Amino acid sequence: MSKITKLLVADKINEEGLKPLRKYFQIEVRTGLTDEKLAEIIGDYEVIITRSSTALPERIIANASKLKTIARAGIGVDNIDIEAATARNIAVVNAPKGNARVTAEHTIGLMFSLMRHIPQANNELKQGIWAKSKYTGSQVFGKTLGIVGFGNVGKEVFRMANGLGMKVVVCEPYTKLSKNVSKMTFEELLKVSDAITFHVPLTYLTNSMLNLYTLKLCKKEVYIINCSRGGVVDEKAVFQALKQGQIAGLAIDVFTKEPPIDKRLLDLPNVIATPHIGGSTYESQKQSISEAVTAILQLKEGNVPSNLLNPQVFKKIRQRRLVGGFDTVIFDCDSTLSAIEGIDELAGLVGKKEAVAKLTRLAMEGKIKYVDAFEKRLALTKPKKQDLEKIGRLYMDNLLEDAKGVLEALKFLGKEIYIVSGSYTPALTFFGRNLGIPDRNIFGNDLLFDEKGNYRTFIGGPLRRNHGKLQVIRQITGRRIMVGDAVTDLESKEVVDLFIGFGGVVKREIVEKNSELFLYCRSFAPILVMAAGFEGSVELLKSKYRKYVGKGLDLLSSQKHVKAEGKLRRKLNDYKKLAYL
């Protein structure tokens, strides 16, 4: 009989939903724990279930010697240090769908209340005041709604707003958007939206993303709705904008501190607020705990749940067809599609090359975190918009020898091509457009510039582990190849069908060691053959792209140019037949 292990429930939840776990765990419900007490006892548990009241920072996770799973019975995970959990091989799951619909309903309800002055009119009517002419509102039909964040809640808001006849635009740096979604940068969205609603997690990227500067980019008398996290909106800046008439109205369900809250903000006549109840319905609370419990059981049984936030910790060997044709090829940019490192070239433009190179080296050696290196490099360079356009041109000038022809051949076969990079969006979009890659398939780091093109702030993008490249790539559909040269690219190995390490420009030992296929050459022809598969390669042999197939086959059969895992090497032998066609 298997050993019964301990599970801690640290916040108030619907305990009826825990029944499926009782077969496997000794469940202890201990709510209201202080940080000190939690740090003292957490080492006894294999699983912990939390909501928003319990924080799990690095100093507490460091004591979790037995912990295997952290389950958040809700969407937001800003109270959990995912990076610290990943470092200790602890799985983190949440309940992204449990309260998505009801939070979206609450958002739409707040928008109606805000634009039609419903709470204010109700209050005065209860006081005996018939203020019919005072509360003439604005209709939502035909208005432009800007949705910042396109996760489960953002998608529900999109669907509902479309049904109301609104024009909807979306800012989302991580998720691939369908063709019917109008994608914009944050800056573009601010400038065109009549109402803006936020549906993003609170991270260092999103903290105070609506602030004194970004508010100046908004339309005069814009409506602001926030049902995500309080810190996303700078309350002091919004307070001033409301008093000055820059914002027509504010509807909020979340606050920077809960409680207490800033009463000055609530006292303004054009502010309506609720006490963080956007996701609170009987139905959603049951569904959230059910989602979390299901994920715990899947992990217990050795399966990967769809709501696992750090799939790097899931080490079960997946059955993958390493050859046979793929639907999608995902490229990094720097030292892969292009022979240059954009950040080095940018540093050279502004006279900071030596300082930036030192930070990059420290990150590669693991002495500082990648995210810290990124922020410090950005603070040093402070790139102008025109600088990044120069980097885009440099990417094109240093394009790898046969990259353009190989990309054309991939498109000839109907393959989807993506760029997912830690570089900057203005440079990548310039580069991608010249290669015929649509903007919707390009994911980079978004920066905000003033009207003169000077750097103001970093908005977001596929940078941070557990919140960047991996989260973008896992949402791309079809059978996927990832081509990259860095550790942050290598992490996608857990979610793609084939990872190809590219050492044609810079050879990094950790990538070489852990890649299923590693290229020492500067050619992309082997990637084309792998993506095409046997049948696709036959089709290419009948086309003008024939030369790339021949070159790819020669390189794939050479141990000097290609390193392949034993199993993959054996499968590649089948491709030798193509030489006789």
For the annotated catalytic residues, the residue numbers are 229, 258, 276
Residues 6+ apart with CB under 8 A from 393: 430
- As to burial, measured by CB atoms within 10 angstroms (0-12 exposed, 13-18 middle, 19+ buried), residue 215 is buried
- Which two tokens mark 129? 């005041």
Give me the residue label for tokens 């792209």.
545
Residue 108, H or E segment: helix 100-116
As a whole number of Å, the CA-based R_g of the chain is 26
Q: 463 and 374 in contact (C-beta within 8 Å)?
A: yes
Render 288-353 in DSSP notation, one character per residue. Answer: HHHHHHHHHHHHHTT---TTBS-GGG--PPP----SS--SEEEE-TBTTTBSS-HHHHHHHHTT-H
Q: 224 and 270 in contact (C-beta within 8 Å)?
A: no
Could you give the CA distance from residue 206 to residue 503 in angstroms, rounded to a whole number? 34
Q: 81 and 90 in contact (C-beta within 8 Å)?
A: no
Secondary structure percentages of the chain, helix, strand, coil, to 5: 40, 20, 40
Residues 6+ apart with CB under 8 A from 514: 490, 493, 501
Q: Tell me which residue of 274, 260, 261 sits closest to 225, measured CA to CA.
A: 274
Render 117-159 in DSSP notation, one character per residue. Answer: THHHHHHHHHTT---TTTT-----TTPEEEEE--SHHHHHHHH
Please report, as a single letter, which amino acid is at residue 152: N
Q: 106 and 240 in contact (C-beta within 8 Å)?
A: no
**Phi, psi for residue 68 in degrees, rounded to 5:** -115, -30
- In angstroms, the Cα distances linking 101 to 108, 152, 277 are 11, 8, 13
